């Protein structure tokens, strides 16, 4: 059961004395309710632009577990980012974008065969209201049911911008398989995403068949630089409705040790932030940050990188909302 602070402090009215702009009680960065960036915890989506929610799943990993603690880890790490204006944006991301923390998706961890549909139902409930989603994983399997719901809402196929050490397109024809390395094989086969207009960044594991997705592997990014990466990504996805998924193991284990399947030779957090911040022209319909495993983290370094990436995704969504309004 999530704590409904919104019942006490509705986001739509002026904040009461002793509360911040989101209606949360004033608290130092190390205290208080650890919602994502101190947004109100609520399931009331009236007038809400983006619902941040967690999917605390770690049953689909092939190596180290612990991502069930990922949403809580990213929320705790995000609180520090809510203290000041967003850098380098120089704005309050919530001045024009109404964001709430929707809490976590409920599923029965003891009934693995029900998890896929529970996540689809969770996403459908949010998307049906016209609210966009920023989802905190959870292992990367969660992106498959999220893509099912997003393709229903925004039309298929979607384009995919996918940051990862792994392509996650290894073959798997078992429809009940709960596997964090095969979701995009299935998503491509089912027409949820268009491989010709999709791109994977930071890859450094082998697959005999990358299924036609453009691969900007980690050596390519290191050799060509972030600006060339940005240019490639923008030209591949164009103006197609696009889902953005960030597996934190795209980062080198030096920057993200707290993850299930770390691989050496990855991007730095600075490189990844620079690329994500430059995606303002993308027609973004949804996003997630996955594979943060706090039990394997050190000094919250992984959770902090992930929270920062998620916060920048909200800044992208804020700017895109303003651009949509300016065109109208
Ligand atoms: Mn992955
Ligand atoms: Mn990965």
pLDDT tens per residue across span 216-264: 999 999 999 999 999 999 999 999 999 999 999 999 999 999 999 999 9
The ranges assigned to domains in the chain are 36-327
pLDDT tens per residue across span 30-71: 888 899 999 999 999 999 999 999 999 999 999 999 999 999
Ligand index nearest the alpha carbon of residue 261: 2
What are the structure tokens assigned to 86, written together?
A: 């967003």
**Quick one: which of 231, 220, 146, 152 has its CA closest to 183?**
146
8 A C-beta contact, residue 72 and residue 54: yes
pLDDT at 275: 98
pLDDT at 10: 39
Query: What is the DSSP code (8-state) at residue 323?
Result: H
Pairing mode, strands 199-201 and 214-216: parallel
pLDDT at 23: 67
Q: Where are the beta strands (DSSP E) in the chain?
A: 50-55, 99-104, 132-137, 159-163, 199-201, 214-216, 241-247, 283-290
Place of tokens 């209606």: 23
Question: Hey, which CATH number is domain 36-327, 3.40.800.10, 3.30.870.10, 3.30.559.10, 3.90.1150.10?
Answer: 3.40.800.10
Tell me how far apart the alpha carbons of residues 2 and 135 are, in angstroms, rounded to a whole number. Answer: 16
Between the CA of 102 and the centroid of ligand 1 the distance, in Å, is 24
Between the CA of 18 and the centroid of ligand 1 the distance, in Å, is 42
CB atoms within 10 A of CB 39: 28
Between the CA of 126 and the centroid of ligand 2 the distance, in Å, is 26
Tell me how far apart the alpha carbons of residues 193 and 243 are, in angstroms, rounded to a whole number. Answer: 9
Between the CA of 228 and the centroid of ligand 2 the distance, in Å, is 22
Question: DSSP letters of 50-98?
Answer: EEEEEE---SS-SS---GGGHHHHHHHHHGGGGSS-BTTTTB-TTSS--
**Quick one: which of 167, 95, 105, 92 has its CA closest to 133?**
105
8 A C-beta contact, residue 143 and residue 136: no
Ligand index nearest the alpha carbon of residue 250: 2
Between the CA of 314 and the centroid of ligand 2 the distance, in Å, is 22
pLDDT at 67: 98
pTM attached to this predicted model: 0.94
Which residues, given as ranges, of the chain have pLDDT below 70?
Answer: 1-17, 21-24
């Amino acid at each position: 059961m999530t704590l409904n602070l919104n019942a006490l402090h509705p986001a739509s009215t002026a904040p009461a004395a002793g509360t911040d702009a989101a209606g949360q009680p004033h608290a130092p960065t190390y205290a208080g309710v650890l919602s994502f960036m101190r947004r109100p915890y609520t399931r009331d989506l009236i007038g809400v632009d983006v619902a941040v929610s967690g999917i605390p799943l770690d049953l689909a990993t092939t190596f180290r577990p612990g991502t069930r603690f990922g949403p809580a880890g990213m929320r705790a790490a995000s609180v520090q980012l809510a203290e000041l204006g967003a850098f380098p944006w120089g704005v309050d991301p919530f001045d024009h974008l109404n964001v709430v923390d929707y809490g976590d998706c409920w599923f029965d961890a003891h009934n693995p065969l029900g998890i896929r549909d529970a996540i689809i139902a969770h996403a459908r409930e949010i998307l049906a209201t016209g609210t966009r989603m920023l989802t905190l994983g959870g292992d990367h399997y969660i992106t498959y049911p999220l893509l099912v719901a997003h393709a229903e809402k925004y039309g298929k196929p979607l384009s995919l911008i996918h940051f990862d050490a792994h392509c996650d397109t290894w073959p798997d024809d078992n429809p009940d398989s709960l596997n964090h390395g095969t979701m995009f094989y299935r998503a491509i086969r089912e027409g949820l995403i268009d491989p010709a207009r999709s791109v994977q960044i930071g890859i450094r594991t082998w697959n005999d068949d990358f299924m036609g997705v453009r691969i900007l592997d980690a050596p390519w990014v290191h050799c060509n630089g972030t600006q060339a990466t940005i240019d490639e990504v923008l030209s591949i996805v164009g103006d197609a409705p696009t889902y953005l998924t960030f597996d934190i193991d795209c980062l080198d284990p030096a920057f993200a040790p707290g993850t299930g399947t770390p691989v050496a030779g990855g991007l730095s957090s600075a490189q990844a932030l620079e690329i994500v911040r430059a995606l303002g022209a993308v027609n973004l319909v949804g996003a997630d940050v996955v594979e943060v495993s706090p039990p394997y983290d050190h000094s919250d370094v992984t959770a902090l990188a992930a929270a920062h990436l998620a916060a920048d995704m909200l800044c992208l969504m804020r700017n895109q909302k303003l651009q949509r309004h300016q065109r109208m």
